[in-house]
Structure 1
């Protein structure tokens, strides 16, 4: 089948590779342009170039030249592989089989661009992957395939994505394209009564409230790693906590955010019903460091308050 892929980063590259190995006819690739002065790798671009697949790097998908280029490639299906922009109907309406998208949740729950983050922050123990047709809404199109994926207690966004959601997603995209080509792909309407939508995770969402449960604090830290990082304050300076563990019992009567003890694993900080051990931290303008290095650099003492 004639497939045009819109994607980026290593995920886009690996989807391209899987589709080529499956025997699909890759008629074009659209990926993000190189920013002037930056040397960041662009695996999707590089793979398409090496494979001699026609390539377009537009600054915006809304440019009419993009629509014209897609039409000229005569795709039967568009595959979206890590796309954060809204795809204009003028583009996804071109192919015979329209366009499919990878979304890292069990739709209709957790629609939106930060689905992995919010699932962890909300304490979910399971998420999944949905491959669906796209329409004019945000993650509202008919479902083709779904697969459940566990969330482990110490998962961060990075570990959940790279260890499970990424590789499973590549496999599912290839499987879906094969099913569409064979005329075996279902179209399952989403149950909008079960839908939830979460906004893009921003700094304002990740301020740590040590007055909440220790599980809530730990989940926020996990769900904000690797971006944007759970935030607190100490001595008037912004601090990011990147990794933590839970200690269920209160060590003593303490105030939320109070530094209780320094241990080899990190800094023990009080929450409402227990404590966390902050293992990796970052002071504003500095680098991510171990708790030991953070303590040595800041000379903080027990009794001080994060928050």
Structure 2
């Protein structure tokens, strides 16, 4: 299975390492910033790196030829419909909430702010609308009292993301398709960026 990985930062690198351990071929890494640690990891492994022309959008020619699946890991770029069409199975991403709850960039912050007793993670199909694609895998976890968004991410949600992405990759390798359960729109909530409160 040939994968184009779009991502950044620590979660991008741990996803890169996880994918390589699962016997798939990462044919290209796409980053918004040439200096990102994911770009450095790819260069060190001899894997081609492409820097997005537009940091907010990934276009079709930035996806490697003959890509089976696009995987995003800590990417804030929209993957264009044409880019998704360039991959045989489209694309998946990890969102640190129980989608359709808390769609948006500040999902964990809203989980904590709203006092949710449980949180979770979702591997979902990338689609035109933000965080609205079908669910490929999902699992929940408890939120500890007084836990910050960062603590919740590091303790539970980042490791859960790796686990769920690995499960979906293994499924795709075995079945040449992706699981897909549509999100129930009646439960969708937004998690826009929080204004700085200092």
Cα separation, 2, equivalents of 1:57 and 1:186: 30
Residue in structure 2 matched with residue 109 of structure 1 by the alignment:
101
Aligned residues: 197
Equivalent pair of 1:33/1:59 in contact (CA under 8 Å)? no
* Preserved contact between residue 89 and residue 178 of structure 2 (Cα < 8 Å): no
Write the distance in 2 (CA, Å) between the matches of 1:2 and 1:61.
23
**Of 30, 36, 47, which aligns to 1:42?**
36
1:141 is aligned to 2:122: no
Alignment of 1:9-48 (within 5 A): 9-34=9-34, 42-48=36-42
Structural mapping, 1:227-238, within 5 Å: 231=198
Structure 1 position 86, deviation (Å): 1.6
| Counterparts of residues 275-286 of structure 1 (less than 5 Å) | none
- Counterparts of 1:43-192 in structure 2 under 5 Å? 43-60=37-54, 66-70=59-63, 72-183=64-175, 185-192=178-185
Runs of 4+ residues deviating >3 angstroms: 61-64
CA distance in 1 between counterparts of 2:52 and 2:189 reads: 32
CA distance in 2 between partners of 1:10 and 1:73 (Å): 26
- Alignment CA distance shift 1:63-1:47 (3 Å): same
Alpha-carbon distance change, 186 to 150 in structure 1, aligned in 2, over 3 angstroms: same
Deviation of residue 10 (structure 1)? 1.0
CA distance in 2 between partners of 1:18 and 1:174 (Å): 7
CA drift at 1:52:
0.8
- What is the alpha-carbon distance in structure 2 between the residues aligned to residue 45 and residue 27 of structure 1? 13
Instruction: For structure 2, list consecutive stretches of 5 or more residues without a partner in the other structure.
Output: none
Which structure 2 residues correspond to residues 155-304 of structure 1 after superposition, within 5 A? Answer: 155-183=147-175, 185-203=178-196, 206=197, 231=198
Q: 1:60 is paired with a residue of what secondary structure?
A: coil
Between Structure 1 and Structure 2, whose CA radius of gyration is higher?
A: 1
> What is the deviation of 1:32?
2.2
Moved more, 53-62 or 84-93: 53-62
CA–CA separation in structure 1 for the residues paired with 2:147 and 2:24: 35
What secondary structure, in the 3-state scheme, does the structure 2 residue paired with 1:29 have?
Answer: strand
| C-alpha spacing 1:63/1:138, structure 2 compared with 1 (3 Å) | closer
Mapped to 1, the partners of 2:56 and 2:83 lie a distance apart of: 9
Q: CA deviation at 1:16?
A: 0.7
Deviation at residue 67 of structure 1 after TM alignment: 2.3
TM-score normalised per structure 1: 0.61
Note the aligned Cα RMSD (angstroms).
1.7
Query: After superposition, what is the alpha-carbon deviation per residue over 1:117-167, rounded to whole angstroms, capped at 9, x for unaligned?
Result: 011001111110000101110111000100101111121111111111112
SS at match of 1:146: strand
